[in-house]
Amino acid sequence: MGSLFPEVDVGATLQNVTHFLSVVLPKMVRISGQSMSDLKSPSYDGMPKSQPSGNATDSRIVRRLYAEEVVKRTIQAIKHCDKDCQNILDELYLQELSDTMCFMDLGFSESSYFHVWKPKALLQFADCYMLDDLHIFKKSSFDAV
C-alpha cells in the first residue's frame, strides 16, 4: 500500500537544501536587486526595492519577479522553522557566518551542531519551503517494476 508521504532520502535532501541556500538563494537575491544584508529574517517585508526599467524585456521582468518570490518564500520558510533552526539558518545563510562561528555563537557543541542541529534546520527548511519541493525521495521498489 502506498504512503501519502514517500520516504525522504535524508542525505540527498540535506545536499539539495544546502545547494539551494548557498548557491541558488544568493543568485536569486542578486537578480531580485537585493543584497544579503537586506534579508534580516525578522524584518524582511518581501517588497521589491526598485522597479524594473520600462525597457526591460518580458523575460527579464519575469525572471526578476520569480527571484523576488524565491527570496520572499525563503524568508517565510525560515520563519516557520523552530527558533533554534531559525537562528542557524539566519546566521549561516542570511548573515553568511561560518559553521564554526554559528555553533559557537549559538552555544552548541561542534558535534551536536553538525550531527543534530544543522541537519534538523536544513530538513525543517525543506519541509517549510513551499515554492519548490527541495526533498529528494528514496526510490520505492515499486518504481523499479
60 band by pLDDT with thresholds 50, 70 and 90: confident
Interval 1-27 mean pLDDT = 91
Q: Is the pLDDT of residue 118 over 90?
A: yes
What's the DSSP call for residue 134? -
Q: What percent of the chain has pLDDT over 90?
A: 70
Q: Is the pLDDT of residue 48 over 90?
A: no
What is the structure's pLDDT at 50? 56
Interval 16-41 mean pLDDT = 88
59 band by pLDDT with thresholds 50, 70 and 90: confident
- Give the three-class secondary structure for 100: helix
Q: Is the pLDDT of residue 145 over 50?
A: no
Alpha-helical runs (H) found in the chain: 10-19, 25-31, 58-80, 83-89, 99-106, 110-112, 118-128
What is the structure's pLDDT at 6? 87
Q: Taking a C-beta distance cutoff of 8 angstroms, is the pair 92, 21 a contact?
A: yes
> What mean pLDDT value characterizes the chain?
87
Identify residue 8 by its one-letter amino acid code.
Answer: V
What is the structure's pLDDT at 139? 86
Residue 67 and residue 80: Cα distance in Å, rounded? 20
- Dihedral over alpha carbons 70, 58, 27, 114 (to 10 degrees): 20
The whole model's pTM is what? 0.81
DSSP 12-49: HHHHHHHHIIIIIHHHHHHHTT--GGG--TTT-----S
Residue 54 and residue 15: Cα distance in Å, rounded? 39
